[in-house]
Structure 1
Amino acid sequence: MAACHIACWREAYRGLVPDHVLDAFDLDHRAANWERTARKHSGRIVVAESGTTIAGFTHYGPPRDEPAVAERELQALYIRAEWYGSGLARALMDAVLEPDRSCSLWVFEGNPRARAFYAKYGFVPDGTTRAERFATATEIRMVRR
């Protein structure tokens, strides 16, 4: 998962996130973060594999925003570039979204591809923004009622 996560960031965010940030990601550190997340996570993590390769993943859980604006938060959805357009992202979304539960997520403001994808699932910007922790990019919150 850690290797997939790092690769996805580098593939999707080059030009949006400074190169020195993307190049500094450490596999062991990211793996330790995922181990902690898996142990403590009260939501669901779904991993998509192709043979022995992790092609993508998603996870959601209780909202981290205070006050909460939805019942749950989609905390990650990452797909390796090789699988863009394959339907894999749609399959992962279908695995975690429930029609009768509201959901929020954070996405880079400057990532029109991701924003358009989430809009297909009924997510709309709610006007809230924040600075992303690792980069100089701005994130917007999108909510699906």
Structure 2
Amino acid sequence: MLAAFDQDQRAAGWERIARDNPGKTTLVAEHGAEIIGFAQYGLPRDLPAAAARELSAMYVRAHWYGTGLAQALMDAVLEPDLSCSLWVFERNPRARAFYAKYGFAPDGTARAERFATATEIRMVRPAVEFRS
């Protein structure tokens, strides 16, 4: 699905997202001049919100799988004292397993994805309570 996107159109879309959503933070991982991954997070879009923060985009180029890049992005996004939600394709076991490693679990909510004929499920990671 990602290969079908027009790069110039997507770049313009990201610029529009950044301009129109000042509450979003986008982290970009680069290797030289090449973008090799990114994550975007901010206030949740769902009403009512399922968590304090939403991970709205996460992508790592396949060549960089297994290098720790995805973990570094997740470590930068997740804060133990903040709950976080995300939407993932229901039929993407690799992504679902990846997010489960970080404490995300399906909350029973599903929706039709906006750009493809696929179902997404919401996964939520609760805040971690610290006890002394």
Do the two structures share a fold, i.e. TM-score over 0.5?
yes
The offset of 1:127, in angstroms, is 0.4
Structure 2: gaps (5+ residues): 127-132
1:118 counterpart letter in structure 2: Y
Q: Does 1:76 align with 2:35?
A: no
Task: Find the partner of 1:105 among 86, 92, 97.
Answer: 86
The offset of 1:28, in angstroms, is 2.0
The offset of 1:29, in angstroms, is 1.6
More helix as a share of residues: 1
1:12-64 residue CA offsets vs partner (Å, 9 max, x unmatched): xxxxxxxxxxx3x2222211111011223312110000111000000101100
Q: Does 1:64 align with 2:42?
A: no
The offset of 1:111, in angstroms, is 0.5
1:59 counterpart letter in structure 2: Q
Q: What's the RMSD between the two structures over aligned residues? A: 1.2
- SS of 1:143's partner is strand
User: What is the aligned residue count?
Assistant: 125
Higher relative contact order (CA 8 A, sep 6+): 1
1:29 counterpart letter in structure 2: Q
Aligned residue in 2 for 1:143: 124
- SS of 1:68's partner is coil
**Superposition TM-score, scaled by structure 2 size:** 0.90
Q: Does 1:91 align with 2:72?
A: yes
The answer to whether the Cα contact below 8 Å between 1:105 and 1:141 also exists between their aligned partners in 2 is yes
> 4+ residue runs of structure 1 moved beyond 4 angstroms?
none
- Within a 5 Å distance, the mapping from 1:103-142 to structure 2 comes to 103-142=84-123
1:64-97 residue CA offsets vs partner (Å, 9 max, x unmatched): 0111110010000000011011110000000111
The answer to whether the Cα contact below 8 Å between 2:18 and 2:24 also exists between their aligned partners in 1 is no
2:67 counterpart letter in structure 1: S
The answer to whether the Cα contact below 8 Å between 1:56 and 1:78 also exists between their aligned partners in 2 is yes
Aligned residue in 1 for 2:18: 38
Structure 1: gaps (5+ residues): 1-5, 11-22
**Superposition TM-score, scaled by structure 1 size:** 0.83
The answer to whether the Cα contact below 8 Å between 1:49 and 1:56 also exists between their aligned partners in 2 is yes
